[in-house]
Amino acid sequence: MSVLPEHIRLAFADREGPAIFATVDPAGAPNAAYVGAMSLCGEDAVAIADNYFHKTRANLIAGSRASLLFLTKERKSYQLKGRVEYLTSGPIFEGMKSWNPPRHPGVATALLRVEEIYSGAQRLV
């Protein structure tokens, strides 16, 4: 995907509560974790702070694709799916430190490159 549609950007800005970040391990076992520190990054990605990942981190390092599920304040759900880059240095990692709450460790940044977008069962992109 080259650009997140504007209505998805607005929905992301209007999200409420933590999101659910899901990955799978090399054997295919799923893992889901709540994430709260995240930010849109560029035109096609969401940066997610790795504050307390364990299984998620191992899955990402092993090459897992991922999905991020969030709700808006109006209770509409969106799911973003795609490839993930796990970053421990560089400008995106350093930028994460400006929006990640300082009380959290900010070990790395998981950069979800959005390839598919769903709202409920409907594929939007």
Would you list the domain boundaries of the chain?
6-123
Q: Read out DSSP for 2-28?
A: ----HHHHHHHHTB-S-EEEEEE-TT-
Q: Which residues of the chain have pLDDT under 70?
A: 1-2
What dotted CATH number matches 6-123?
Answer: 2.30.110.10
Long-range contacts of 27-32 (CB under 8 A, 24+ apart): 31/55, 31/56, 31/59
**CA 71 from chain center: how many Å?**
13
How far apart CA 33 and CA 12 sit, in angstroms, is 18
pLDDT at 101: 97
For the chain, counts of helices (H) and of strands (E): 3, 8
On whether the pTM is more than 0.75, the answer is: yes
Residue type, 104: H
pLDDT at 117: 97
Helices (H), 1-125: 6-13, 55-61, 91-99
